[in-house]
C-alpha cells in the first residue's frame, strides 16, 4: 500500500470516509453525524452532480413494486420514513424539498392493459396496502387533464414525490451544519487495506486518506473502485433520459405512469417526462429519438402538454445490479460498508439506506433483515 505520501494536503484521519456525495453518501453522512460520528465525504466531481439530482423524484414504493418480498419491504419502510426525513431537513435548512403526498396513478389506453395493471397489483390489497381500481370517469374526475381515451388504471394513494435537486441541496447543507466535511475533486482509486481490513482510501494522485471505516456510495461508478472484493461489473450504469416541460399551472396533481412515459408534476407548473432505460455505458448524450418518444407518449397522456414550453433535457445513470437489488451494509472486509446499486429507487430508498449504514457502522441492529441486500450475495470465493 503506497502509504508514504500520506495526506500531506488532505485532512487527517476521521471516523468514516464516504466515497460519493450523491444521495446515498450525503444522507449517510448526515445520519452518522446526527449520531455523533465524524465524516468526510470524498466526491470526484461536485456534491449531487450525478444521478441523484437528475432523478424524477417519484417515491413509488407501491407503484414500482411487482411482488411481495425484501425489496418491497425495504421500499415501504423507506416511504414510511419520508415525511419525517423531509420535515427534519426542512427544520435544519429551511429548504422545502418538495415532498408531497400526491399519490401515483398507473393508467392504460387498452382495456387489456388496464386489466393487467389491476391484476398485477392485486397482491398488494392482500398485504393490506391501499390500491384503488379506476375507470375512465374516475380518472377524469381525479385528473381532468388526462386523455379521455384512457380506459382506466390504478391509484396508489400513499405513494408520493419529492424534488431531488432541492433534496440534494438540503441534505448537503444539513450535513455541513452537522459538521460533515466534503472534499470535491477527490477521485478515489481504491480502498486501502491493511491486514485485510479497510483503513482508508487511495486517491488518484497516490495520496492516502486514513479512516476507521469506509463507506462506498459511488453509484454507477462503484465497480471502477478497486479493493471492494466484488466481481467486475457488479454495478453498471443504466442511462435514463428526461424531458422537462412547463405550463402556467400544474396540469396534474398525481404522478402518472402511462405506456412509454411517466409524468411528474411540480407545484410551479414544471412537469418532468421520464424516462428511457438504456445500457450504453457512460454515454451521457440526450438523443433525438428518446426525446421524440417521450414527448409523443406524454402528449398522448395529457394533450394539453402540446402547448407546454420545453425547458430542458438531461440524462444520467441509475446504478444497476443484475438482480435489481441494492448492495447494503457491511462487507466481508472489516471496516468496509456499501450503500450502492439502488437502480430505479435511490431517492425513495435514501432514508432507510442511511439508517442501515449508520446501524452497520455503529454495530447496531439493522431496521430489517439485510440478507437479500448483502454486498457479497451470489459471489463465490470472497475477496478479489
Ligand X SMILES: Cc1cc2nc3c(=O)[nH]c(=O)nc-3n(C[C@H](O)[C@H](O)[C@H](O)COP(=O)(O)OP(=O)(O)OC[C@H]3O[C@@H](n4cnc5c(N)ncnc54)[C@H](O)[C@@H]3O)c2cc1C
User: By the criterion CB under 6 A, which residues form the site for ligand X?
Assistant: 19-25, 42-45, 49-52, 54-58, 186-188, 217-221, 225, 240, 242, 274-275, 316-319, 340, 342-348
List % helix, strand, coil for the chain (3-state, nearest 5). Answer: 30, 30, 40
Residues 255 and 279: beta-carbon distance below 8 Å: no
Residue 119's CB is within 10 A of a number of other CB atoms, namely: 9
79 or 155, CB closer to ligand X? 79
Shortest Å, Cβ 300 to ligand X: 20
Strand spans (E) along 109-167: 132-135, 152-156, 160-161
DSSP string, 259-285: TTEEEEE-TTSEEEEE---B-BTB--P
Q: How far is the CB of 310 from ligand X (least distance, A)?
A: 17
| Bond from prior residue into 347 cis (ω within 30 degrees of 0) | no
Measured from the CB of residue 321, what is the shortest distance to ligand X in angstroms? 11
Task: Judge contact between 164 and 264, C-beta under 8 A.
Answer: no
Closest distance of CB 30 from ligand X, Å: 13
Beta carbons within 8 Å of 137's beta carbon, 6+ residues apart: none
Shortest Å distance, C-beta 149 to ligand X: 26
Name the minimum Å distance from CB 204 to ligand X.
8
Distant-in-sequence, close-in-space partners of 174: CB < 8 Å, separation ≥ 6 = 30, 88, 89, 92, 93
| DSSP code string of 191-255 | EEEETTEEEEEEETTS-EEEEEEEEE--GGGGGGSBTS---TTSSEEEEEEEEEEE-SS-S-SSE
Distance of alpha carbon 93 from alpha carbon 98, whole angstroms = 13
Which phi and psi (to 5°) does residue 349 adopt? Answer: -85, 5
Which of residues 150 and 294 has its CB atom nearest to ligand X in the complex?
294
Cβ distance 162 to 96 under 8 Å?
no
- Between 185 and 248, name the residue whose CB sits nearer to ligand X: 185
Name the 3-class secondary structure at 20.
coil
Nearer to ligand X, 114 or 203 (CB): 203
Work out the widest C-alpha separation in the chain, in whole angstroms.
Answer: 71
Cβ nearer to ligand X, comparing 3 with 183 = 183
Rank residues 108 and 351 by Cβ distance to ligand X and give the closer one: 351
Comparison of 133 and 190: residue with beta carbon closer to ligand X: 190
Work out how close the CB of 130 gets to ligand X at its nearest, in angstroms, rounded to a whole number.
Answer: 20
Of residues 59 and 151, the one with the C-beta less far from ligand X: 59
Q: Measured from the CB of residue 240, what is the shortest distance to ligand X in angstroms?
A: 3
Q: What is the bridge-based pairing of β-strands 309-320 and 270-274?
A: unpaired
Q: How far is the CB of 47 from ligand X (least distance, A)?
A: 7
The residue among 1 and 141 lying less far from ligand X, judged by its C-beta, is 1
Amino acid at each position: 500500500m503506497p502509504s508514504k505520501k500520506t495526506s500531506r494536503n488532505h485532512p487527517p484521519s476521521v471516523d468514516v470516509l464516504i466515497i460519493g456525495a450523491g444521495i446515498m453518501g450525503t444522507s449517510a453522512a448526515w445520519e452518522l453525524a446526527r449520531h455523533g460520528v465524524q465524516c468526510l465525504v470524498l466526491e470526484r466531481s461536485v456534491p449531487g452532480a450525478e444521478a441523484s439530482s437528475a432523478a424524477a423524484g417519484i417515491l413509488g414504493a407501491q407503484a414500482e413494486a411487482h411482488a411481495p418480498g425484501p425489496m418491497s419491504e425495504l421500499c415501504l419502510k423507506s416511504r414510511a420514513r419520508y415525511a419525517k426525513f423531509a420535515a427534519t431537513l426542512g427544520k435544519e435548512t429551511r429548504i422545502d424539498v418538495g415532498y408531497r403526498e400526491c399519490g401515483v396513478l398507473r393508467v392504460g389506453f387498452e382495456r387489456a392493459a388496464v386489466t393487467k395493471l389491476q391484476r398485477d397489483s392485486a397482491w398488494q390489497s392482500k398485504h393490506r396496502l391501499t390500491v384503488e381500481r379506476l375507470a375512465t370517469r374516475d380518472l377524469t374526475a381525479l385528473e381532468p387533464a388526462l386523455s379521455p381515451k384512457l380506459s382506466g388504471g390504478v391509484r396508489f394513494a400513499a405513494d408520493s414525490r419529492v424534488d431531488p435537486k432541492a433534496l440534494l441541496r438540503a441534505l448537503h447543507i444539513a450535513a455541513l451544519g452537522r459538521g460533515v466535511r466534503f472534499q470535491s475533486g477527490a477521485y478515489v482509486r481504491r480502498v486501502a487495506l491493511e491486514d485485510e481490513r479497510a483503513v482508508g482510501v487511495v486517491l488518484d494522485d497516490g495520496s492516502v486518506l486514513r479512516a476507521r471505516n469506509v463507506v462506498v456510495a459511488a453509484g454507477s461508478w462503484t465497480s471502477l473502485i478497486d479493493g471492494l472484493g466484488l466481481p467486475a461489473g457488479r454495478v453498471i450504469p443504466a442511462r435514463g433520459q428526461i424531458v422537462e416541460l412547463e405550463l402556467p399551472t400544474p396540469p396534474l396533481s398525481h404522478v402518472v405512469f402511462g405506456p412509454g412515459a411517466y409524468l411528474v408534476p411540480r407545484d410551479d407548473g414544471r412537469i418532468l417526462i421520464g424516462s428511457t432505460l438504456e445500457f450504453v455505458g457512460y454515454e451521457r448524450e440526450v438523443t433525438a429519438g428518446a426525446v421524440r418518444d417521450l414527448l409523443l407518449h406524454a402528449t398522448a397522456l395529457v394533450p394539453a402538454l402540446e402547448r407546454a414550453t420545453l425547458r430542458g433535457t438531461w440524462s444520467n445513470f441509475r446504478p444497476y445490479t443484475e438482480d435489481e437489488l441494492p448492495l447494503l451494509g457491511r462487507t466481508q472486509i472489516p471496516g468496509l460498508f456499501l450503500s450502492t446499486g439502488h437502480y430505479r429507487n435511490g431517492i425513495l430508498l435514501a432514508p432507510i439506506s442511511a439508517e442501515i449504514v449508520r446501524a452497520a457502522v455503529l454495530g447496531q441492529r439493522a431496521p430489517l433483515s439485510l440478507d437479500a441486500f448483502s454486498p457479497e450475495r451470489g459471489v463465490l470465493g470472497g475477496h478479489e
